[in-house]
Each structure stands twice: as structure tokens, then as C-alpha cells.
């Protein structure tokens, strides 16, 4: 992931070593200076669909998402529309382009629907707006997700050496020194 590009794709594929993928993802997140870090994977980490939560992704991925200030994890796989919030991360599932399956909302659920549709996004420097749109074009859910503060995006922690307030001095800049909007 070079420069300010906000998307990192993670796919669980048979025969691939999850430890290698996790290492790659951590390296990309640590090096990223993107104003927005959005991780995309096929399988949901958290889901109120029939597959439920993924214990492996919860164990291996959630700590990285939280440490590096990833506000959004986008997935498919479960054939429904979902918006869950667990900790500091919004888990969005847009797998409703096929036959839909039941959902069982719980306390983490901001929205869930067993209906055909898709998610649409608008990203500004300060917020990401997500709309869940039904197959009939009707907006079913809208949420605005604020961009994390630079010190959170960088993965720096308060008290890190040479980092006032926990920032890393690079956040908000693309590689090459060009400021992000």
C-alpha cells in the first residue's frame, strides 16, 4: 500500500499461510500514512448472519485493526447487509447481491437486513458515510463514521519516544511528503 491509498485487501485463500498474511498486513498498516485505513476481506470478522463471528479473524485481525486505527473493515460472504460496531471498528458486510440469508441482530448491531442490496460510500477528509441500499434503490440505513485522529491512525501510542501525544509525525502525509486533504 503506497502513499495515501486507503484500502488493504485481505483474503483467506486455501493453501496460503495466515501468519504470512497477518505479517504482511501489519507491515502495510504500520507503514501507511493514509488518512483513511480501510481493510477489505472476503470473510466477516463479526457477523450476525448464519456464519457468525470468525474466531480466527477475531484473534488475529482485531488487534491490528485497533492498534493501527482502522475504522472500517469491509467484507462480503454472508448474504445480507450488516453494520456492526465492536470496539473502535465498524464492521460492514455487503454480501446481499445473491440469495439472502437470515440475520439475528444483537447488541453490536447498528443495522442488519436479510434483503438484496449493496453498500454505497462517500468519503471526505473528515468522515465516511455509508448507505445500505435495497434492491429497489431505497436507502435502508445511513451512518457517518468519523475519521480517526492522526495518532490513532498511525498506530503510535501515547508515550512513544519522540512522539508528542502519541503521533508519529507522518500521519496526514502521503509518502513523498505531500499533505493529504
How far, in Å, are 47, 58, 62, 64, 67 from residue 54 at the CA level?
8, 6, 11, 15, 19
How deeply is 14 buried, as exposed, middle or buried, from its count of CB atoms within 10 A (0-12, 13-18, 19+)?
Answer: exposed
* E strand map for 53-164: 72-75, 81-86, 89-94, 109-113, 117-123, 127-134, 139-146
Alpha-carbon torsion (18, 19, 21, 25), positive or negative: positive
Q: Which position among 43, 51, 79, 141 bears the catalytic label?
A: 51
**Are 73 and 91 in contact, with CB atoms under 8 Å apart?**
yes
43 has catalytic annotation: no
Query: What is the C-alpha separation between 125 and 75, in angstroms, rounded?
Result: 23
* Residues catalogued as catalytic: 51
Amino acid at each position: 500500500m503506497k502513499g495515501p491509498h486507503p484500502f488493504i485487501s485481505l483474503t483467506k485463500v486455501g493453501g496460503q499461510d495466515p501468519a504470512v498474511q497477518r505479517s504482511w498486513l501489519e507491515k502495510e498498516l504500520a507503514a501507511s500514512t493514509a488518512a483513511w485505513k480501510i481493510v477489505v476481506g472476503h470473510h466477516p470478522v463479526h457477523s450476525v448472519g448464519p456464519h457468525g463471528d470468525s474466531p480466527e479473524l477475531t484473534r488475529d485481525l482485531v488487534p491490528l485493526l485497533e492498534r493501527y486505527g482502522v475504522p472500517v473493515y469491509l467484507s462480503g460472504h454472508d448474504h445480507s447487509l450488516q453494520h456492526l460496531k465492536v470496539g473502535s471498528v465498524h464492521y460492514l458486510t455487503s454480501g446481499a447481491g445473491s440469495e439472502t440469508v437470515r440475520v439475528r441482530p444483537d447488541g453490536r448491531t447498528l443495522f442488519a437486513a436479510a434483503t438484496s442490496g449493496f453498500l454505497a460510500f462517500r468519503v471526505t477528509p473528515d468522515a465516511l458515510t455509508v448507505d445500505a441500499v435495497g434492491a429497489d434503490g431505497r436507502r435502508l440505513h445511513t451512518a457517518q463514521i468519523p475519521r480517526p485522529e492522526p495518532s490513532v491512525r498511525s498506530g503510535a501510542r501515547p508515550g512513544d519516544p519522540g512522539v508528542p501525544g502519541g503521533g508519529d509525525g507522518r500521519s496526514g502525509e502521503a509518502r513523498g511528503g505531500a499533505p493529504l486533504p
